Structure 1
Amino acid sequence: MRYRRILSLWFPRLAAERLLRAGAGPPEAPFAVVAERRNRQVLSSLSAAASAEGLRQGQPLRDAQAMCPHLLTRPAEPHADAAFLTALRRWAGKFSPWVAEEKPEGLIVDITGCAHLFGGEEALVEQVEIDCGDLGLTIQVGLADTVGAAWALARYAGQAALRTRSGDAIDQEAPATRARAAKRRSWERGGPAPVPQEPGTRPWRIAPPGKAHSILGPLPVAALRIGEDAVTGLSRVGIRTIGDLTGMPRAALARRFGQDVVLRLDQAMGGVPEAVSPARPPAIFAVRLTLPDPIGLDEDIRAAIDRLLPELEKRLQDKGRGARRLRMQLFRAEGSTQTLEIGLARPSASPDRIRPLLVMKLDEVDAGFGIDCIRIEAHVTEPVHARQHRGHIEAAQDAMRRLHSDTRLEDLIGRLGSRIGLDRISRAHPADSHIPEKTAHRVAAAWSEPAKDWPRPPTPRPLVIWRPEPVTVDEPPPPLPKAPATFRWRGRNLATAAARGPERIAPEWWLDEPEWRTGVRDYWQITADTGERLWLYYAHGGTMSGGWFCQGRFA
Structure 2
Amino acid sequence: MLWAALSLPCAPDGTPPSNEALHGLAVWALQFTPRVAIADDAVVLEVEASTRLFGGRRALHERIDGEGREIGMAAIAWAPNSLAALACVRAGVLNGVRQPLPQVLDALPMGVLSAVAPHRLTLAQLGCRTLGDVRRLPRGGIGRRFGKGLLDALDQAYGVQPEAHRWVDLPETFHARLELMARVDAAPALLFGARRLLVQLCGWLAARQAGTTAFTVRWAHDGAHLRPGGDAGGTGWLTVRTAQPMRDVEHLCRLLAEHLAHVRLQAPVGELALEAPEVVPLQAHSASLLPQDGPAGELLPRVLERIAARLGPGRVWQPVLCEDHRVEWMQHWQPAPQPVRGPRIAPPPVPQPGFILPEPLQLAVRDNRPIYQGPLMLLAGPHRVEGGWWHRAGDDATNHHVERDYWVALSQHAGVLWIYQVRLAGDATAWYLHGAFA
TM-score of the aligned structures, taking structure 1 as reference length: 0.30
| Larger helix proportion of the pair | 1
